[in-house]
Amino acid sequence: MKTFGDIAGEVLRFANRTDLDKETVVKEAINRRYKEILQFYNWPELLQETTVTATTETVGLPQSVAKIIKVYDRTNNRVVMPLPDQDLTERYIKDIGSAGNPQYYSRLGNRGVLTQPSAATALVAVTDAGSDSGTYRVRGYDANGLLVEDEKTIGTVTDRIFTSVLHFSKSVPTSGVISLKDNTEASTYARLAREEKVARYAVIRLHPIPTSVSLHITHSTRVSDLDDDEDDLLLDCEHILVIGAFSDLLRNLRQFAQAEAEELRYQTLLEGFLRDRLGSDSTWAFMPDMNKRTERV
């Protein structure tokens, strides 16, 4: 299987180009096309599992969680059923906030932190590399419910006081892992890996609210952009990416007629790839049927 650098090099050779600015165009195009293919289906290569302990109504999930497939309550040996949040709140309006073993969960989108501050506090982003350049940015709400934001050098405490956080990011890749903490550095709310710039955690609402349960979550994983030339692909689709990126490069070079021809070639290759993979794929056959587990018809 070709690496990221191999794919980019092949595209550049097709166009007989060696300039660095076109290499950047090609690598950006490869990442766009790759994410397009990854989003077509719950590919088995993306399947992962994680376990979290839930003690509150809203629960933050690891950054690796992209799409939730199934949620199991391992403490009580049952499947937690998905229900859109609007339906959940309307159907159980009188019971929202009640305690018990969770029967339903709803997806509340993504937040900038895994857990929210328990009280109003200033925040600080610290690195595990001793020191790091760059800035970090936090946006959220203060004690008056006003939307506030602050941007500081890594290692410097915010001027603003936050009761909840919506967004946490940094300006540049860093040498170490960046953690968002309270101003005493006693609690950690979010982390950013060296190459990550924006924190994004999936959040779910549970009903009823558990005292403490172990949730086992099957999910598709969030895939980062290909970055280093040595990066490899999760799917065996490099031949498709070469043609798709070549089409984008031709369009950048204003060779529109040839770009359209290569785009049609890309679509044909993609359709063949999807037909071959999905026609014989029984990836989720092992997953328990929720209607059987809940005795629904």
Query: Given a cut of 60, is residue 28 above it in pLDDT?
Result: yes
Full-model pTM: 0.81
Query: Given a cut of 60, is residue 280 above it in pLDDT?
Result: no
Give per-residue pLDDT as tens, 94-144: 998 999 999 999 999 999 999 999 999 999 999 999 899 899 999 999 999
Please tell me the predicted confidence (pLDDT) of residue 284. 43
Query: Given a cut of 90, is residue 33 above it in pLDDT?
Result: yes
Rounded CA-CA distance 70/248 in Å is 37
Please tell me the predicted confidence (pLDDT) of residue 69. 95
Angle subtended at Cα 292 by Cα 75 and Cα 64, rounded to the nearest 5 degrees: 50
What six digits make up the tokens of 110?
Answer: 């993504």
